[in-house]
Amino acid sequence: MDDPIRLLLILIPALPLAAAVLIGLLGPRVLRQQSHWLAIAAVLASFLCSLLLMRELSFLQRAAGAGGEVALGIGYEEVRRLWTWTDVADAYQQPRTPPGESRESLVGGGSRDFRIDIVLRADSLTCMMLVMVTLIATLVAIYSAGYMHGDPGYWRFFAYFGLFVFSMTMLVSVSNFVLLYVFWEAVGLCSYLLIGFWYQKPAAAAAGKKAFLVNRVGDFGFALGVFLIWTTYGTLNFHDSLRGGELEPARIQQAVAAERAGEVVPAEQEPVAGVFGPLRLADNELRPAGQPRTSAMISLAICLLLLLGACGKSAQFPLHVWLPDAMEGPTPVSALIHAATMVTAGIYMIARCTPLFLVSPDAQLVVSVVGGFTALLAALIALTQYDLKRVLAYSTVSQLGYMFLALGVGSLAGVTAGMFHLFTHAFFKALLFLGAGSVMHAMGNVIDMRRFGGLRRVMPVTYITFAVGCLALAGVFPLAGFWSKDAVLGAVHDKVHELEPHDSDSHGPAPHGPAPHGPAPHDSSPHGSAEGGGTQAVERPESSADDDVTPVFGLSNLLRGQIFHWLYLLGLMTSFLTAFYTFRAFYLTFHGPELIPPEAGRHAHESPASMTVPLGILAVCSALVGLLLDRSYLDGTNSFANWLLWTPSLGFPAAMRTTLPGEFHLSVAGWSTLMALGGIGLSSYLYLGSRHEIHGIRQFFDLAWVSGWSDVESFARMRQWRVARWVRECSAAVGLEWLLRLVVGALLLVVLVLSAPLLLLYYVSPYKLSYHRFYLDELYELVLVRPLRGLARLCYGIDRWLIDGTVNFVGRVPRQIGDVMRSLQMGLVPFYALAMVLGLLILLAVQLLG
């Protein structure tokens, strides 16, 4: 084919799919324990194709951008149409708007088609995701060949694996919301299949079901968001096209020019502006039409619905509960799907939808708050878990929270920081998971950290690579995590500064603030002006990207600045906790006295080369990726961010007016390093050498001393004190024993009343909260699962007894009547004759008498 981009775009997903189909067909009989070769080859080829695609794209970008400058403003994309899935012409008739508005003309003269083409796109964001997904998938496939060796479902594993890589590569390369949704569901399905891979294990089957169901909640929101996007923007495509499906940019430009000139063009030639297409982005026409307040409400609704979907897939706060349970699946799956790739689909989606989020600052705030809160919550839970993989799972949730925090900042610095963190996190989290898998492999599938320890001599390669991963996760200076975490915190820090009321600004434009921007004159409805009137002067957006955006929540900039400030502190706090729990797990596993569980048998050994080589490669990547890509500390360039800015939905004019990436914050870096080192230091102090302090600390946080206060036995012991005895003897001598009894009884009552809340506190002590995951699972069980199960039972009962009962009753009535009549059928001819005669007589009697 003469179009290399088209060929590569097709090959990247097609190879894993072909591998999956072939393994599925041939696996059980032919390939068996050799199934991995096909999968590894396909995914590796896919990775090489991704690299080639990246190279092709960078050539094209350089050619388009005149010397590699990013200042072009609308990014660069290559879109290829494979075939048309569905095409319903004029699916929605819109009332024709006055000719003055150009927006409506872009969706095709008042009517819009429901046209879904299978369209693949190549832009920077897609390329970056493709490279990351296929690279991690290749390494994990090699690793799995060792890890899954001898499993009865060997071929099944690799078939699912190929299917997952296909779905994920399609997810990041499609150019349409419906297709995004389709593959969003497809990765969910693969995740379900792989979590429940050992389906004989009840816990695994339940975990798969839980993941699937929790994701449904998010997907419901995502689907509603997609519907709303279609009714708002008239198309679901990311890219611009003509109504006939033509994608050639020159033809589109021609058609737009023709329409602007007022020429009558055939319907096939009318331009359709995609949601993130250059036509819309160049003029920042993403605000929905209508009154400012309505428009803001609609964009907020779209963003929040998309966020709900992202929360489900990326395991953010209300919907994060499935991810830790997903650790029941095979460890390579945890590494690939539940740490490195699939859970980043939500991040990818929000990054892709940056233009939508930019017009709704309220939604950005929600994204950040959800992310920051999740980061802290998950980090707190991870502190006390004993399951090595669960610690890593909560750490994943926490790091994903970081990414959301960055995405919600709403500046390009934030979005690229989030994506950068996603990129580096994929490496070190995959490394950590694979390391944990290696430990599990050697320990005979024991994962409880209390049951093994001191493995650094038994498994030296795993030890070293795991250490690199831990340092990267903790964010220690030269490793990958440091750069991306610093970028995230730096972006939040910038946002705080941006929202702070600067002295010059607050004195300067405030008096004549509302006039030039003028949301008030437009806002003619009394309702809107009444609500917005009080805060109008304060909430005038500082940054030019927020121009004319009507906030829905009505939070002042001051308040938003404070919220972001708290989120920044939360981020620093989380980085301390991250360092602590990471190294807690590390020390518990690899340091201390050597302890090997009996399940490991006598052959606790280092894993085979097929497992250690991917570990080594990932370790090198985790160590170097940040240093190589982020050079903001030298010359203020972050080549990763610069590459990403070529994405149309990131590098468009309105976004380019926000804070750009590339600034290195020495103070932020200093603080975060300090926090990380503090966390590492604390855990080293507690877990290296003798570990007796940790018991005391756990007792303290478990509020064990509270139970001592309100203990009955301690009161009994108090009776034996010398003072108590003396008082008793004295009162006996004076003859006032009854008074003593009364006083002591009253005292006891007071103490009991006081200690009741303390006792309650004892049962929800910080340690217990963390150990029991803040009782969220129990809460969901109580609030959602039980009532829903009750409702299901009720429905079942109604179906079973009321509806089925009625139907069965209707069926049973003729039967019963028939049973009565049966006894008349005795087969005697004289009886029948008599019955006939009697019947005749009755008829005659009726005839004669009636």
Partner 1 sequence: MNELALLQNYLLVGGLLFAIGLAGFLVRRNMIVMFLSAEIMLQGISVSLVAWGRYHNDWGGQMLVVFIIAVAACEAAIALALVLMLAKQTGRLDIVLWQDLREEGQPAYVDREVPEEREEDQVWPTLTPAGIEPEVDPEEELHRSRV
Burial class (CB in 10 A: 0-12, 13-18, 19+), 182: middle
Minimum Å gap between C-beta 845 and partner 1 is 16
Query: x/- binding map, residues 339-378, to partner 1, per CB under 8 A?
Result: ----------------------------------------
Q: Residue 99 or 827: which CB sits closer to partner 1?
A: 827
Nearer Cβ to partner 1, position 820 or 849? 820
- Closest C-alpha among 352, 355, 332, 401 to residue 154: 332
Segment 748-777, which members bind partner 1 (CB under 8 A)? none
Do the Cβ atoms of 120 and 9 come closer than 8 Å? yes
Nearer to partner 1, 609 or 834 (CB): 834
Nearer to partner 1, 200 or 825 (CB): 825
> Which residue type does 771 have?
Y
How many CB atoms within 10 Å of residue 679?
23
How would you class 717 by CB atoms within 10 Å of its CB: exposed for 0-12, middle for 13-18, buried for 19 or more?
exposed
2-21 positions binding partner 1, by CB under 8 A: none
| Shortest Å, Cβ 826 to partner 1 | 5
Residue of 612, 617, 603 lying closest to 435 (CA atoms):
612
Q: Residue 843 CB, nearest distance to partner 1 (Å)?
A: 15
Nearest residue to 168 (alpha-carbon basis) of 199, 210, 135, 145: 135
Cβ 86 to partner 1, closest distance in Å? 60
- 3-class SS of residue 56: helix
Query: What is the C-alpha to C-alpha distance for residues 785 and 513, in angstroms, rounded to an integer?
Result: 52
Q: How far is CA 560 from CA 548, 554, 567, 643, in A?
A: 17, 10, 10, 30
Please report how close the Cβ of residue 848 comes to partner 1 at its closest, in angstroms. Answer: 16
Closer to partner 1 at the Cβ: 93 or 825?
825
DSSP H helical ranges for 65-106: 103-106
Minimum Å gap between C-beta 328 and partner 1 is 58
Which of 816, 823 has the CB closer to partner 1?
823
- Min dist CB 842 to partner 1, Å, is 16
Q: Does 837 bind partner 1 (CB under 8 A)?
A: yes
> What is the closest distance, in whole angstroms, from the C-beta atom of residue 808 to partner 1 in the complex?
23
**Minimum distance between the CB of residue 809 and partner 1, rounded to whole angstroms?**
24
* Dist CA 270 CA 90 (whole Å): 13
Long-range interactions of 554-558: CB distance < 8 A, separation 24+: 555/362, 555/365, 557/499, 557/501, 558/499, 558/501
- Rounded Cα–Cα distance for residues 602 and 613 (Å): 24
CB atoms within 10 A of CB 291: 15
Residues 544-573 that bind partner 1 (CB under 8 A): none
Least distance in Å: CB of 823 to partner 1?
Answer: 7
Q: Binding pattern to partner 1, positions 474-493, x when CB under 8 A?
A: --------------------
Q: Which is nearer to partner 1, 718 or 837 (CB)?
A: 837
The distance of closest approach from Cβ of residue 849 to partner 1 in the complex, given in angstroms and rounded to an integer, is 20
- Going from the C-alpha of 585 to that of each of 92, 177, 328, 454, 614, the distances in angstroms are 57, 40, 19, 12, 21
Query: Among residues 193, 432, 165, which one has the least CA distance to residue 329?
Result: 193
Instruction: Give the x-and-dash track for 815-834 against partner 1 (CB under 8 A).
Output: -------xx-xxxxxx--xx
Q: 533 vs 839, which CB is nearer to partner 1?
A: 839
Nearer CB in complex with partner 1: 98/827: 827
> Whose Cβ is closer to partner 1: residue 828's or residue 844's?
828
CA dist., res. 417 & res. 190, Å (int): 29
Concatenating the DSSP letter of every residue in 159-198 gives HHHHHHHHHHHHHHHB-BHHHHHHHHHHHHHHHHHHHTTS
720 or 823, CB closer to partner 1? Answer: 823
d(CA 663, CA 483): 12
The contact set with partner 1 (CB under 8 A) reads 822-823, 825-830, 833-834, 837
